[in-house]
């Protein structure tokens, strides 16, 4: 099943010139990092790849970071990049599978039907001996506008989580580090409380990843089950800002889980509102 979600550097090398294939670098920094990934992209990227800025192609009506964009902005952006609803889109990041899952989740949630992640990211491409490019890549717009198909069951809002605290119909899994989850370390974003949403389970995202790829299905399953997650029951994933929660979303999807939603506001929203319940 993992081949439904990833491609190898060799596969991408062989298909990079396909007429209906677009490559996107979706690199984004952690909140503690001051990294200009656009600058790094311009210095070195996979041939033909475009830079897709998850913080700019986002909802600008809120101060919350990289929330899902409006239909209009998403349609305009993808159309300009030459992406139609049926285009094969290959996503990668320059790090350790940090932001590529968020790109995958965003595109598939809003109507892209054929999205794959480059296993191992840019480093795996370089390690395989394939060439990189410098500078910007000129996009050829799609001949017809991208039509947004919003799959609302794939994301959750604050009210839905509040309701779930009463109904307990869905498990909640937090992708932040154990120290942040249990309030032993301060939040990297100023003004946020420490702790987690009551009843949440903790599966730190980096435990699922090795060398820019997800661990084996058997290892992933063991990690979730060790944290007390029932993989046959509905799940809501959260994190600091909706970025690393997408890594959990991807891993759970690869494992065949059928009902997964991502809380887009995550702790950036919940931790900022003192009236919302919190535990450590």
> pLDDT 10s per residue in the chain (280 long)?
345 899 999 999 999 999 999 999 999 988 778 899 999 999 999 999 999 999 999 998 988 889 999 999 999 999 999 999 999 999 999 988 999 999 999 999 999 999 999 999 999 999 999 999 999 999 999 999 999 999 999 999 999 999 999 999 999 999 999 989 988 888 888 778 889 999 999 999 999 999 999 999 999 999 999 999 999 999 999 999 999 999 999 999 999 999 999 999 999 999 888 889 889 8
Residues 183 and 219 in one domain: yes
Token pair belonging to 97: 């599978």
State whether residue 179 is helix, strand or coil.
helix
Q: What is the pLDDT of residue 3?
A: 55
Residues 141 and 42 in one domain: yes
Q: What is the pLDDT of residue 95?
A: 87
pTM of the model: 0.96
Residues 141 and 8 in one domain: yes
Q: What is the pLDDT of residue 1?
A: 37
Task: Out of 98, 124, 150, pick the residue that ends a domain.
Answer: 150
Q: What is the pLDDT of residue 163?
A: 96
Task: Out of 99, 127, 150, pick the residue that ends a domain.
Answer: 150
- For 28, the domain range is 2-150
**How far is 265 from 158, CA to CA, in rounded Å?**
7
Q: What CATH number does the domain containing 199 carry?
A: 3.40.250.10
Where would I find the H helices in 55-177? 71-80, 100-109, 121-127, 158-167
Residues 41 and 97 in one domain: yes
Task: Out of 133, 150, 167, pick the residue that ends a domain.
Answer: 150
Phi-psi domain of 23 (left: phi exceeds 0; alpha: psi -120 through 50; beta: other) = beta
Residues 117 and 195 in one domain: no
Residues 121 and 82 in one domain: yes
Residue 220 lies in a domain: yes
Cα angle at 183 between 181 and 184, to 5 degrees? Answer: 110
Active-site annotation holds for 112: no
State whether residue 279 is helix, strand or coil.
strand
Residues 110 and 16 in one domain: yes
Active-site residue, selected from the candidate residues 112, 239, 257, 280:
239
Q: What is the pLDDT of residue 4?
A: 87
């Amino acid at each position: 099943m993992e081949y439904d979600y990833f491609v190898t550097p060799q596969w991408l090398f062989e298909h990079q010139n396909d007429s209906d294939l677009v490559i996107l670098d979706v690199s984004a920094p952690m909140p503690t990092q001051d990294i200009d990934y656009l600058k790094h992209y311009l210095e070195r990227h996979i041939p033909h790849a475009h830079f897709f800025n998850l913080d700019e192609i986002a909802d600008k009506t809120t101060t919350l970071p990289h929330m899902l964009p409006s239909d209009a902005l998403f349609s305009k952006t993808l159309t300009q990049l030459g992406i139609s609803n049926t285009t094969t889109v290959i996503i990668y990041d320059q790090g350790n599978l940090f932001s590529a899952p968020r790109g995958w989740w965003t595109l598939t949630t809003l109507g892209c039907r054929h999205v794959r992640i480059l296993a191992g990211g840019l480093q795996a491409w370089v390690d395989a001996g394939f060439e990189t490019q410098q500078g910007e890549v000129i996009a050829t717009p799609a001949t017809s506008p991208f039509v947004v198909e919003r799959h609302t069951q794939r994301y959750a809002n604050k009210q839905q989580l509040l309701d779930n605290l009463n109904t307990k119909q869905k498990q909640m899994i937090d992708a932040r580090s154990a120290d942040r989850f249990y309030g032993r370390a301060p939040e990297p974003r100023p003004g946020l409380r420490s702790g987690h949403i009551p009843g949440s389970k903790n599966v730190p995202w980096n435990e699922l990843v090795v060398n820019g790829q997800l661990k084996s299905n058997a290892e992933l399953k063991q990690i979730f089950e060790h944290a007390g997650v029932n993989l046959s029951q509905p799940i809501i994933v959260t994190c600091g800002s909706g970025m690393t929660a997408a890594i959990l979303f991807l891993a759970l999807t690869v494992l065949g889980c059928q009902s997964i939603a991502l809380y887009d506001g995550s702790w950036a929203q919940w931790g900022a509102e003192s009236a919302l319940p919190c535990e450590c």
